[in-house]
Amino acid sequence: MRADPITGRRWWVIGASAGLGRAIALELAAGGASVIASARNARALEALAREVPAIAPLPMDVTSDASVRAACDEVGAPYGIIYAAGAYAPMSARNWLPGQAETMAEVNFVGALRVLSHVLPEQVAAREGRVVLIGSLAGFRGLPGAIGYGASKAALMHLAENLRADLGGTGVRAQIINPGFIRTRLTAKNTFAMPQIMEPDAAAGRVLAAIRKGRFATSFPAPFAWIFTIGRHLPLALFQAMFGRAPGFRDGAGNPPDKDPAP
């Protein structure tokens, strides 16, 4: 019988100060793991550690090489790492805000590269481990109003496929988990209806279930996720037209993609 990848294991959750990352850290601790929780917000991490003694706070800024290097030196080789750091701002190409896309790319994708460049060699040397990247349904195909965010999540999904291709036989397994809408401070920025929006604790339960199953890719919630997984095989114009007509989806200025922005 396959050993439980959570109970008695040491996991590092990055992006654990709020939202899904915080909920994942709590679920891991409840499942018997020892958890290292990282984010920029040291005060929020300390509060989390006071709540659950199995969680150790380790402040880190994924956009800083020095901060990441110092944290990785302290952590060493955890059995599992979950990259859940996230930045999001709804933005259309017609209303591009300088710096926003760059921030989303740095936090959502480049930060994962920084961390893995230190942690992954340690896991490979130990010949065991998990790398779990938290992607998004928004990474499957280009959507209206998702400049920066969608591209960064698509890059993370591609990275996971690279890892899967390279890590066979090393004892280290890569997984990509693509949630839909989760009720967090990030999705609070949206002004449109969000189908099948989930609470963070419910989404964290799905993440841990996916880790235990060991499947490479998991997307949820169904049936909303089916639109994206099936949509990868549709002509792009048809896929984008579906979201352009849907009342819940608009670009970052509130316009359907086939309409000119208001003056």
Residues forming a β-bridge with 207? none
Q: Which residue is associated with the tokens 């979950």? A: 82
Residues forming a β-bridge with 13? 37, 82
Sheet with 10-14, edge to edge strand ranges:
55-57, 34-38, 10-14, 80-83, 129-134, 172-179, 217-220
Active site residue 88: no
- Both tokens of 21, joined, read 């990352």
Choosing from 79, 83, 88, 149, which is the catalytic residue? 149
Active site residues: 149
